Amino acid sequence: MAQLFHRGANNVAKASLVIAVLLGGVAFYVYTQVARSSYLTNQFLEKQQPVQFSHKHHTGDDGIDCRYCHTSVETSYSAGIPPTQTCMNCHNQLWADSPYLEPVRASFRDNKPIEWERVHDLPEYAYFNHSIHVAKGVGCSTCHGQIDNMPAVYQESSLQMEWCLSCHRNPEAFIRPQSEIYNQEWDGNDLTVEQRQQLKADYKIRSTQMLTSCSTCHR
Looking at the Cβ atoms of 196 and 217, the one nearer to another protein is: 217
- We find the least distance from the C-beta atom of residue 170 to another protein, in angstroms, to be 27
Looking at the Cβ atoms of 87 and 191, the one nearer to another protein is: 87
Residues lying near another protein in the complex (CB under 8 A) are found at: 62-65, 67-68, 71, 76-78, 80-81, 83, 85-86, 88-90, 92-94, 111-113, 115, 118, 123-125
Q: Of the candidates 79, 75, 73, 103, which has an alpha carbon nearest to the alpha carbon of residue 91?
A: 103
Looking at the Cβ atoms of 103 and 200, the one nearer to another protein is: 103
CA separation for the pair 33, 35 (Å, rounded): 5
Q: Is 139 helix (H, G, I), strand (E, B) or coil?
A: coil
Q: Of the candidates 145, 123, 136, which has an alpha carbon nearest to the alpha carbon of residue 199?
A: 136
- We find the least distance from the C-beta atom of residue 71 to another protein, in angstroms, to be 5
Looking at the Cβ atoms of 47 and 118, the one nearer to another protein is: 118
CA separation for the pair 71, 77 (Å, rounded): 12
- We find the least distance from the C-beta atom of residue 111 to another protein, in angstroms, to be 7
Looking at the Cβ atoms of 45 and 81, the one nearer to another protein is: 81
Looking at the Cβ atoms of 83 and 145, the one nearer to another protein is: 83
- We find the least distance from the C-beta atom of residue 61 to another protein, in angstroms, to be 8
The DSSP-derived string for 151-204 is: SS--B-S---HHHHHHHHT-GGGT---GGGTT-TT--GGGS-HHHHHHHHHHTT
CA separation for the pair 158, 150 (Å, rounded): 17
The DSSP-derived string for 39-94 is: HHH-BT-PPP-SS---HIIIIIIS---HHHH-TTTTTSSS--PPPHHHHHHHHTTT
- We find the least distance from the C-beta atom of residue 166 to another protein, in angstroms, to be 21
- We find the least distance from the C-beta atom of residue 136 to another protein, in angstroms, to be 18
